[in-house]
């Protein structure tokens, strides 16, 4: 999996993931979220438009990131999840906790 992070002027960190968010790659995701929160960027949008596969480890990493950001006074929101990612979230009822947005601006409106 490839991941990149862009910091918007409004303080939102936009993480873009590409590939598979699974047991092998979840640790790198968790490390990046931890680093962002540690640097004071507790509002994180995770763009999942190019994630072709996510398993329970990836889902756990997202939930862990949500917990970390909320403990720091922020939030983690997912953006544009693929159908496979949505299926995993529906099966676990986590689409209610990690409600998907269609864009970063919908997840964290500027203003």
CA distances from 6 to 9, 41, 62, 84, 85 (A): 10, 11, 18, 25, 22
**Residue-level pLDDT at 111:** 66
The encoded tokens of residue 79 equal 């953006």
**Residue-level pLDDT at 110:** 83
Which CATH number, 3.30.750.24, 3.40.50.150, 3.40.190.10, 3.40.50.2300, labels domain 2-103? 3.30.750.24
Query: Per residue of the chain (111 residues), what is the pLDDT tens digit?
Result: 999 999 999 999 999 999 999 999 999 999 999 999 999 999 999 999 999 999 999 999 999 999 999 999 999 999 999 999 999 999 999 999 999 999 999 999 986
Which residues contact residue 108 at a Cβ distance below 8 angstroms, ignoring those fewer than 6 apart? Answer: 10, 12, 43, 45, 77
């Amino acid at each position: 999996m490839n991941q990149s992070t862009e910091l918007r002027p409004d303080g939102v960190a936009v993480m873009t993931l590409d590939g598979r968010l699974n047991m092998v790659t979840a640790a790198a995701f968790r490390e990046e979220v931890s680093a962002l929160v540690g640097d004071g960027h507790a509002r994180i949008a995770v763009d999942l438009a190019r994630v072709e596969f996510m398993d329970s480890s990836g889902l756990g990493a997202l939930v862990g990131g949500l917990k970390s950001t909320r403990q720091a006074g922020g939030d983690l929101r997912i953006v544009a999840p693929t159908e496979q990612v949505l299926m995993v979230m529906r099966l676990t009822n986590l689409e209610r906790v990690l409600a998907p947005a269609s864009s970063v601006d919908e997840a964290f409106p500027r203003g």
